[in-house]
């Protein structure tokens, strides 16, 4: 999956906006959105929120988790845990990037939020790299990916399947060689321990 496809999926997530206009319900393939009343919060897909923001027709309310305090908690939990912690959103990185790019004026302490999210991403990427290294060193064929987001899993795709395929080939050739050696040894032992009683 390309990063653009992941972003497309993330932009289907709903967030709250405060519109500056009045409008009836909008009928979309994915469901109805609205009605829109000026200054009354309403939930819309992220892509629509971005479009309305760019047209200066709404203010965006950032998700509850997008505060410096909440993100610092998540960062600390991620540091302390040997495993991956559950993220507040399956698309936290994409949502944060999109909102910080188009609506940083609606996000309190936007620069700090950006920094902490980058820190969380870096911590998780470091865990992914060390997990992949451990996987390769232990010659494992599978790995649990609990609590990883689509973007994080996608970041491993260029290398992990190829590495696991190579490990499988190496292990298979070793097994084949060991099997052949065992067969040759058995054959040799049978020949060397057989007695000829004929005169």
Task: State the 10-residue block means of pLDDT for the chain, 199 residues long.
Answer: 72 88 86 88 91 91 92 91 86 89 89 93 87 72 72 74 70 66 52 47
Q: What are the residue ranges spanned by the domains of the chain?
A: 1-61, 63-184
pLDDT tens per residue across span 39-83: 999 999 989 999 999 999 889 999 999 999 999 999 999 998 888
Assigned token pair, 108: 């309190």
Are 85 and 77 spatial neighbours (Cβ–Cβ below 8 Å)?
Answer: yes
Fold of 1-61: Ribosomal Protein L9; domain 1 (3.40.5)
Long-range CB contact pairs, 144-147, < 8 A, 24+: 146/83, 146/84, 147/83, 147/84, 147/85, 147/86, 147/87
The neighbouring-strand residues paired with 4 are none
| Residues 17, 18, 22, 28, Cα dihedral to 10° | 10
Fold of 63-184: Methane Monooxygenase Hydroxylase; Chain G, domain 1 (1.20.58)
């Amino acid at each position: 999956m390309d990063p653009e496809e992941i972003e497309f999926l993330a932009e289907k997530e709903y967030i709250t906006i405060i519109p500056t206009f009045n409008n009836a319900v909008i009928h979309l393939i994915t469901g109805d959105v609205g009605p829109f009343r000026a200054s009354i919060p309403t939930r819309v897909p992220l892509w629509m929120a971005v479009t309305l923001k760019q047209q200066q027709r709404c203010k965006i309310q950032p998700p509850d988790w997008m505060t410096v305090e909440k993100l610092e908690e998540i960062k600390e939990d991620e540091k302390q845990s040997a495993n991956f912690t559950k993220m507040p959103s399956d698309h936290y990185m994409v949502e944060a990037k999109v909102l910080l790019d188009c609506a940083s004026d609606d996000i309190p302490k936007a620069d700090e939020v950006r920094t902490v999210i980058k820190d969380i991403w870096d911590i998780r990427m470091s865990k992914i790299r060390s997990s992949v290294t451990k996987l390769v060193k232990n010659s494992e064929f599978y790995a649990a990916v609990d609590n990883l987001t689509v973007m994080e899993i996608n970041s491993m795709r260029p290398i992990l399947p190829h590495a696991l395929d190579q490990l499988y080939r190496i292990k298979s050739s070793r097994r084949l060689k060991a099997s052949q050696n065992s067969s040759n040894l058995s054959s040799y032992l049978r020949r060397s321990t057989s007695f000829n009683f004929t005169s």
